[in-house]
Copies of this chain bind each other. A is one copy, B any other.
Amino acid sequence: MTWQRAAVLRVLGGCQDFVSAQELHALLEAAGRGVGLTTVYRALRALAATGRVDVVRDDAGERLYRRRVADGHRHYLMCRCCGRSQPVAAEVVEEWAERVGRDAGFAAVQHTVELTGICALCVPNADEGEPPCRSGPARHGEHRTHSN
A39 at the interface (CB under 8 A from B): no
A11 at the interface (CB under 8 A from B): no
CA distance A142 to B5 in the complex (A): 46
- Check A88 against B112 for contact (C-beta < 8 Å): no
- Check A101 against B77 for contact (C-beta < 8 Å): yes
Additional 6 contacts, C-beta under 8 A, given A92-B96, A104-B119, A106-B120? A77-B106, A106-B119, A107-B123, A107-B126, A108-B128, A111-B114
Give chain A interface residues in 91-130, CB to chain B under 8 Å: 92-93, 96-97, 100-101, 104-120, 123, 126, 128
A27 at the interface (CB under 8 A from B): no
A residues neighboring B (CB under 8 Å): 57, 61, 63, 77, 79-80, 86, 88-90, 92-93, 96-97, 100-101, 104-120, 123, 126, 128
Number of copies of this chain that the complex holds: 2
B-side contacts of A101, CB under 8 Å: 77, 115, 117
Partner pick for A100 among B88, B112, B123, CB 8 A cutoff = B88
A106-B92 contact in complex given A57-B61, A113-B111, A113-B113, C-beta closer than 8 Å: no
B-side contacts of A61, CB under 8 Å: 57, 61, 63
B-side contacts of A77, CB under 8 Å: 100-101, 104, 106, 109
